[in-house]
Amino acid sequence: MEHDIGCKIKAARIEKKLTQEQVAELLGVSRQTISNWENEKSYPDIISVIKMSECYDVSLDYLLKGEEKMKSYYDYLEESTNVVKSNINRNKIVTILSYLLIWASAMIVFWFFTSGSDAMGYSLMFLWFILPVTTFIVSVIIGKNNFWGKGKWAFTLFFGVMYMLAEYGTFKIANNITFNKLNSPDLGMIVAGAIISAIGMLAGSLWNKKRHNQKNKSQEKY
């Protein structure tokens, strides 16, 4: 009995009566990649193994369990899994840092590069266009990639608070300085920012769900 990963995935594909081209389409890779996996010129990562398990109707245990010949693949799989996790974490950080960079840059422009009526016009553009659009796009990205799972919805509160701070850090503080009067933050801005974020995350989540449904339909077709 052969225990190497290449022979196993090739045998499972043939048993399912699928061509390399069909499998490549289902997995979103090239036919040459499938060929390389089956001939062990390269190894599939853990996500691809899971997809093949579903596509071929075989268990992960069947594909991964074996003798000493599989040890090199296990080492590769552990390494590739760590790489995937690292990339996901990096993408999460980049997404949030991108939002914070845009937020901070807009605040710096308001306080150091505008004045008078220009400052008023800029703050309106920032609060009612730049920040809402940025919040929506970043929330769509979070929803589409399902960053943090169900915990992603907690970020709607984060975006709401940042929206309130943006309004307070422009309009309110400027008025405080001009009229020497202390104004409290507008808590309603938290609700506005959270709603914008929630709509974006919902759109991203629906996008993600539609993508998975399309993949499932493609698998059923074969």
Specify the pLDDT at position 181.
74
Among residues 165, 157, 156, 167, the alpha carbon closest in space to that of 197 is found at: 156
What are the chain's domains?
A: 5-66 (1.10.260.40), 90-221 (no CATH)
Provide DSSP, the chain: ----HHHHHHHHHHHTT--HHHHHHHHTS-HHHHHHHHTTSS---HHHHHHHHHHHT--HHHHH--SGGGHHHHHHHHHHHHHHHHHHHHHHHHHHHHHHHHHHHHHHHHHHS--HHHHHHHHHHIIIIIHHHHHHHHHHHHHHHTTTGGGGGGHHHHHHHHHHHHHIIIIIHHHHHHHT------THHHHHHHHHHHHHHHHHHHHHHHHHHHHHHHHHH-
Specify the pLDDT at position 5.
81
Q: What is the pLDDT along the chain (222 residues), one digit of tens a residue?
A: 344 788 889 999 999 999 999 999 888 889 999 999 999 888 888 788 888 988 898 988 788 775 445 556 666 666 666 766 788 889 999 999 999 999 999 999 988 888 777 877 888 899 999 999 999 999 999 999 999 999 999 999 999 999 999 999 887 887 777 777 777 888 999 999 999 999 999 999 999 888 777 766 655 555
